[in-house]
Every structure is written in structure tokens, then in C-alpha cells.
Structure 1
């Protein structure tokens, strides 16, 4: 599969999640930051997309705000930190 096809597939999977909250976290990350990831990191992102949305949401929101949550599997730690930082940078204080 070409890199362009892989990126399109990952972007589509990021925007078409089971819950809207994950669409709004993973979709923008995929649109703006996914192309900068190297092949092993993209493969890890692909594996992350296989995880349950409710688990992903807990893992990411635990990194974004003061809410306690599950840290998630260690193998995803750096990637979850990147995604959470990207999401947090998009939050505009009310």
C-alpha cells in the first residue's frame, strides 16, 4: 500500500469512530500530525485505532486534564501523549 493510501485510510478511520468524542480528538490529529509520523509510529497509530473507543477516551482525557483516568498500555504511552497534547492545544478557554 502506498504511503498516500495508508494516510487516507488512517484519516478515515480516525474520523469514523464509535463515539463522537473520539472523532473530535483523533480526526484533527490525523489531519494535521499523522503525515509527520514515521512508518513505525503510523503502524502503532493503526494498532491504537483497534482499541475500544471508551478505553481510548479514558487514556487520552487522563493526559489532557485533571481527571484521573487509566494511563493506557505502556506501548502507546508516547503516542497517547502526542495525541493528548494536540487535542489540548485545540481547546480554547471559555
Structure 2
């Protein structure tokens, strides 16, 4: 898949999760981090998008342990939550 088309698809999926909270968390994470991703990071993120929102939110907040396949720099960055802007 062409990189631009892939990023467009990932962006849409990240921002249209089904709940406002997940849209903010996953979409905000994508917006903040995707420019630095190579093909392996994009593939890992695409795989994570297949997971349930409740699981991703729990991994990000530290209330649940993520599967081993997600352990690493991407999950560490997701857990920082420094990419979410506060609503006025």
C-alpha cells in the first residue's frame, strides 16, 4: 500500500474508534507520533487498532498489562499520555 494511503487509513481508524475518549487517546497518539514511524511501527499500530478500545485505554492508563507483542517503545509512548490536549 502506498505510504500516503496507508497513513490516511490509519489516521481515520485512529480518530474513529467509537468512543470520544478512545478517539482522543488513540487519535491524539497517532497525530503526535506517526511522523517518526517507519513501516514496522505503522504495522504495529495497525495491529493495535484491531484491539478493543477498552483494552487500549487500560494499557495506556496502566490498569491492565498489554500483551507481550505490544511491549516496547510504542506502548511506552502511549502510556505517557502527553499527546492529549485538555479541553477548555
TM-score (norm 2): 0.85
Which consecutive residues of structure 1, in runs of 5 or more, have no partner in the other structure? 63-68
CA RMSD of aligned residues (A): 1.6
Which consecutive residues of structure 2, in runs of 5 or more, have no partner in the other structure? none
Q: Which structure carries more relative contact order (alpha carbon 8 Å, separation 6+)? A: 2
Query: For 1:45-60, what aligned pairs fall within 5 Å after superposition?
Result: 45-60=45-60
Write out the 4+ residue segments of structure 1 that deviate beyond 3 Å after TM superposition: 89-92
Give the whole-Å Cα distance in 2 for the aligned partners of 1:35 and 1:8.
12
Query: For 1:5-84, what aligned pairs fall within 5 Å after superposition?
Result: 5-62=5-62, 69-78=63-72, 79-84=74-79
Per-residue deviation, residues 57-85 of structure 1 (Å, max 9, x unmatched): 111111xxxxxx11111111222211222
Give the whole-Å Cα distance in 2 for the aligned partners of 1:17 and 1:37.
21
Give the whole-Å Cα distance in 1 for the aligned partners of 2:8 and 2:52.
21
Per-residue deviation, residues 15-40 of structure 1 (Å, max 9, x unmatched): 00022111001112212311211101
Aligned length: 85
